Chains A and B, each alone.
Chain A
Amino acid sequence: MTGGARRTVVTGVGVVAPGGTNREAFWKLLTAGQTATRRITFFDPADFRSQIAAECDFDPKAAGLTPQEIYRNDRFVQFALAAADEAVAQSGLDFVSGHGVDHDAVAVSMGSAVGATTRLEDEYAVVSDHGRNWLVDQRYGSSFLYQALVPSALATEVACRYRAHGPAAVVSTGCTSGLDAVGYGHQLIVDGDADVVIAGATDAPISPISMACFDAIRATSARNDDAGHASRPFDATRDGFVMGEGAAVLILEEAEHARRRGAEVLCEIRGFANRCNAYHMTGLRPDGVEMAEAINAALAEARIDPTQIGYVNAHGSGTIQNDRHETAAFKRSLGNHAYRVPVSSIKSMVGHSLGAIGAIEVAACVQSIRHGVVPPTANYEHSDPECDLDYVPRQAREHRVDVALSVGSGFGGFQSAILLTKPGWGL
Chain B
Amino acid sequence: MSKAEMAKTAVVTGIGVVAPSGIGIEEHWRSTLAGELRVRPIESFDASGYDTVLAGQVDGFNVEDHVDARLVVQTDRWTWMSLAAAQLALDDAKYDPAAYDPYQTSVVLSAGSGGNEFGQREIQALWSKGRTAVSAYQSIAWFYAASAGQTSILHGTKGPASVLVSEGAGGLDSLHAARRVIRRGTPTVLAGGTEAPLSPYALACQIANGRTTHSRDPREGYQPFDVHANGYAPAEGGAVLVVEDEQTALERGAQQIYGEIAGYRATHDAFHHENPAPDSRQLIRAMRGALADAQVRPEQVGLVIADGAAVPALDTQEAEAIRTVFGICAVPVCAPQGFIGRLCSGGGALSVATALLALRDGVAPAVGNLTQPVPWYGLDFVRQPREMEKDVVLVIARGHGGFNSCMVVKRYREGQR
Q: Which residues of A contact B (CB under 8 A)?
A: 47-49, 72, 103-104, 108, 113-115, 120-121, 124-125, 127-128, 130-132, 134-138, 141-153, 155-157, 159-160, 162-174, 177, 180, 184, 187, 190-191, 208-209, 211-217, 219, 273-282, 290, 293, 410-414
Contact = CB atoms under 8 A, between A and B. Distances in A.
Given A153-B401, A156-B402, A215-B134, A121 B123 contact: yes
Interface in B163-188: 163-167, 170, 173, 177, 180
Contact of A128 (B127, B206, B401): B127
Main secondary structure of the interface of B (DSSP, over half): mixed
A300 to B, nearest CB: 10
A150 B112 contact: yes
B140 A411 contact: yes
Contacts of B160: 273-276
A173 B163 contact: yes
7 contacts: A121-B123, A146-B400, A155-B401, A165-B282, A173-B145, A191-B1, A208-B127
A408 to B, nearest CB: 12
Most buried by B among A159, A164, A276: A276
A81 B90 CA distance: 41
A265 to B, nearest CB: 22
Interface of B: 1, 6, 45-46, 49-51, 74, 102-103, 107, 111-114, 116, 119-120, 122-131, 134-136, 138-140, 142-146, 148-150, 152-153, 155-167, 170, 173, 177, 180, 197, 200-209, 265-274, 282, 285, 344, 399-403
A377 B265 CA distance: 43
A394 B148 CA distance: 37
Given A141-B208, A276-B157, A411-B139, A184 B268 contact: no
A104 B285 contact: yes
A172 B269 CA distance: 22
Contact of A150 (B113, B123, B136): B113
Contacts of A212: 122, 126, 131, 134, 138
B310 to A, nearest CB: 16
A261 B271 CA distance: 26
Contact of B402 (A134, A159, A410): A159
Given A135-B45, A213-B134, A169 B165 contact: yes
Contacts of A213: 122, 134-135, 138-139, 142
A217 B136 contact: yes
Contact of B201 (A127, A157, A275, A411): A127
B71 to A, nearest CB: 10
Contact of A180 (B45, B46, B162, B197): B162
Contact of B273 (A137, A160, A168): A160
A138 B270 contact: no
A276 B158 CA distance: 4
A125 B204 contact: no
B231 to A, nearest CB: 13
B202 A149 contact: yes
B126 A275 contact: no
B100 to A, nearest CB: 13
A48 B119 CA distance: 19
Given A136-B204, A165-B267, A411 B166 contact: no
B166 A168 contact: yes
Nearest to A163: B270
Contacts of B51: 138
Nearest to B147: A412
A414 B161 contact: yes
Contacts of A150: 112-113, 165, 167, 344, 400
Given A138-B51, A145-B205, A171-B163, A108 B268 contact: yes
A202 B41 CA distance: 38
Contact of A278 (B116, B139, B152, B403): B152
A21 B112 CA distance: 30
A169 B166 contact: yes
